A and B are shown apart, each in its own frame.
Chain A
Amino acid sequence: MTNLLRQYRQLFLAYVYEFFREPEVMLWTLLFPIAISWILGIAFSGERSQLVNVAWIQQQATTGSFVQKSFSVQSGHTLIKDSNNVSSSIILGSKSEGVIRYRFIPATPKTADVMMKKGEAILIVNDYPDSANFLFDPGNAAAHGAYLQISAALAGKPVQGVSVTKLDVKGLRYIDFFVPGLLAMGIMSSCMWGICFGMIERRSKKLLRRMVATPMKKSAFLASIVTARVILSIFESAVLYLFAWLYFGMQITGSIPALFLTIFAGNLCFAGIAIVLSSRTAKSEVGNGLINMVTLPMSICSGVFFSYHSFPDWIIPIIKAMPLTTLADSVRCIFLEGAGFMDVAPAIALLTGIGVITFSLGVKIFKWY
């Protein structure tokens, strides 16, 4: 027993030393999440002054323009020529609902088509002397919104009995949504890359082969890697949270012990998956491919960057079954909704279960030489 512990201790230390002696790697794993949360946090906060391009086809320019006429008559705003002397802009909206500048760019049917395809414009207006006709992709929510706002301005009648108030409460900002997801994704990539890379390198350099040619306990080896990685990854999460707290004033409204357990379970889960992924190959390219195959779909779908509720209904149960979704949702619940242990217990059980199963599978199929 003491023997096993001694082996474990040395293996653990070896792994941790290795990590802290590679400054670039450490910097990347710690700074990257901070940088991305900083950039996205800034990008999606503050005054929104958006610009929407509209392809403006004036069918009978000499006879008159419905758009130009209606704007000045109905809403008191006018289309003003831009400094480039080509396009004209109108600013719609208010402080509470957000201000948007619509830039009408003169176009022919042909150039309008190209602008749409390139994504330069999201809306085409066919402007006749006495009417206007809008063309846009109904699946594009932004285009739809633009159409509604422009057509309301053309009509000039505000809807009766409706008013708008600006919402800017802590916990509802994009950064509040994003940081818990980023935390979860950080755990995933830290486990995947941290474990798989080291393992594959050790295998390809025949170090694993050398180690099992001693009386080393294989269980001590695997346990040391998993636990060292889990601890490092918890440390990384703490650094990210510290930044979000200091810079964005992000609060944890739920139970901190529950958060800790959730993060721990998430680490176990991804460490287990990492052991399976790295159990056979000695080629880093293969390892890369395997990791991307597992992490990419989850990073995209699991609601790290945007809510997965905009996906079609039939796919949502599949997304919810992904470990990253489970982890991100639970962490978010604790951060934002004040969840306690009982709320996240099923998620913790699920993540731990996946971890234990994948870990045992990985150990079974593990190739030491």
Chain B
Amino acid sequence: MIKNTVLEIRQVKKYFKDVKAVDGITINAVEGEFIALLGPNGAGKTTLLEMIEGIQYPDEGEILINGLGWKKHEKELRAILGISLQENHFIDRLTVREVTELFGSFYTLPIGRIDEVLDLVALTEKQGALTKNLSGGQKQRLALGIALLNNPKIILLDEPTTGLDPAARRNIWEILEKLKKDQGITMILTTHYMEEAEYLCERIIILDKGTILAEGSVHELLQQFDLSEKIVFVSDKTVTREMVPDNGLHALTQNENTYTLRIEDISSYLPSFLAAMKEYNIQYSSLECRKMTLDDLFLSLTGRSLND
């Protein structure tokens, strides 16, 4: 089945005085797709998202949503998008319900939609609380609820889980997964957390300095860059390439007394590696075997960590 393209971003650029915030980005999203924009601070995620939201305008390039552009179809587009900004402050001294009703009044909503949304984001019990008294997770859920008021076909979320504890984060993930399953919604979110990108999105776009560094599913990305798995350990003795087995070894790197082996497959490599260590009588500590993550990928692409 061929899915409709709902979002086309073509060669979009946005320069500020001294930074190229977004520097020629092209993305197509099909219906029902969840896309994560992953990148460090200042990568241009917010700028790109806000251009899609029609809050900022590209210097160059074109953005079409359902084939419509912002210049001529602002009104239609505002009605079908659901957005949540990176900074979410609502009016401090209004209650959750009042804020939801206020935003609800901007759309034409069926009766009962407010209750439905409050229920969806699990804020029904909190509907009488002033927004200034909400916890971080509740605030983010309120922002999400407001983004969902108009039953949007496309939602654009800017760091919807930043600053939340793992449980609260999972909470939001579950709401989003449910939307995907039940309504076939299309979503673009930005995040600093690779687990979030891996967990929620079938496509991950890694941004840095306004350009796309890499893109694909987690699996594809890791395959593409041939960085499947690794073993890390600490040793006071010098370990050289000759000492470790050669079957499926990509690289051995050393950082002070921490060594990293990049290998094809941990399960076949580990036994021979341990045997070799014994043979050379190398004492090791903090031995760690793991699959490569997007952070490793980012590190190898840019030499910097994602969360710097």
Interface residues, chain A, with chain B CB atoms under 8 Å away:
3, 6-7, 9-11, 13-14, 17-18, 21-22, 202, 205-207, 209-216, 369
CB distance from A175 to the nearest CB of B (A): 36
CB distance from B145 to the nearest CB of A (A): 13
B93 (CB) vs chain A CBs: closest residue: A21
Report whether A207 and B106 are in contact in the complex, using a CB–CB cutoff of 8 Å: no
Report whether A207 and B55 are in contact in the complex, using a CB–CB cutoff of 8 Å: no
Interface stretch of the complex, out of B18-26, B77-85, B299-307: B77-85
Report whether B108 and A3 are in contact in the complex, using a CB–CB cutoff of 8 Å: yes
Interface stretch of the complex, out of B97-105, B162-170, B179-187, B240-248: B97-105
A18 to B130, CA, bound (A): 11
CB distance from B14 to the nearest CB of A (A): 14
Report whether A214 and B107 are in contact in the complex, using a CB–CB cutoff of 8 Å: yes
A212 to B53, CA, bound (A): 11
CB distance from B150 to the nearest CB of A (A): 8
A369 to B75, CA, bound (A): 18
Question: Which of chain A's residues have a CB closer than 8 A to the CB of B83?
Answer: 210, 213
Report whether B102 and A10 are in contact in the complex, using a CB–CB cutoff of 8 Å: yes
A17 to B92, CA, bound (A): 11
A194 to B89, CA, bound (A): 19
Question: Which of chain A's residues have a CB closer than 8 A to the CB of B53?
Answer: 213
CB distance from A208 to the nearest CB of B (A): 11
Task: Indicate whether B216 reaches chain A with its CB closer than 8 angstroms.
Answer: no
Report whether B93 and A17 are in contact in the complex, using a CB–CB cutoff of 8 Å: yes
Report whether A369 and B55 are in contact in the complex, using a CB–CB cutoff of 8 Å: yes
Report whether A14 and B89 are in contact in the complex, using a CB–CB cutoff of 8 Å: no
Task: Indicate whether B193 reaches chain A with its CB closer than 8 angstroms.
Answer: no
Report whether A207 and B91 are in contact in the complex, using a CB–CB cutoff of 8 Å: yes
CB distance from A24 to the nearest CB of B (A): 12
16 A-B pairs with C-beta separation under 8 A: A3-B108, A6-B105, A10-B104, A17-B94, A17-B98, A21-B93, A206-B88, A209-B85, A213-B54, A213-B85, A214-B78, A214-B103, A214-B107, A215-B106, A215-B107, A216-B106
Question: Which of chain A's residues have a CB closer than 8 A to the CB of B55?
Answer: 209, 212-213, 369
CB distance from B178 to the nearest CB of A (A): 23
Question: Which of chain A's residues have a CB closer than 8 A to the CB of B104?
Answer: 10
Q: A10-B101, A18-B91 are in contact. Are A215 and B85 (CB under 8 A)?
A: no
Question: Which of chain B's residues have a CB closer than 8 A to the CB of A7?
Answer: 105-106
A54 to B130, CA, bound (A): 63
B84 (CB) vs chain A CBs: closest residue: A210
Task: Indicate whether B56 reaches chain A with its CB closer than 8 angstroms.
Answer: yes
CB distance from A6 to the nearest CB of B (A): 5
A177 to B150, CA, bound (A): 56
17 extra interface residue pairs, beta carbon distance < 8 Å, beyond A214-B107, A215-B107:
A7-B106, A13-B98, A14-B91, A17-B98, A18-B94, A22-B93, A202-B91, A205-B89, A206-B85, A207-B89, A209-B55, A209-B85, A210-B85, A212-B55, A215-B75, A215-B106, A216-B106
B74 (CB) vs chain A CBs: closest residue: A215
Query: Pick the contact of A215 from B56, B79, B88, B94 — CB < 8 Å?
Result: B79
Report whether B91 and A11 are in contact in the complex, using a CB–CB cutoff of 8 Å: no
Report whether B90 and A207 are in contact in the complex, using a CB–CB cutoff of 8 Å: yes
CB distance from A16 to the nearest CB of B (A): 11
A210 to B83, CA, bound (A): 8
Interface residues of B in 142-181 (CB under 8 A from A): 150
A217 (CB) vs chain B CBs: closest residue: B106
A120 to B98, CA, bound (A): 60
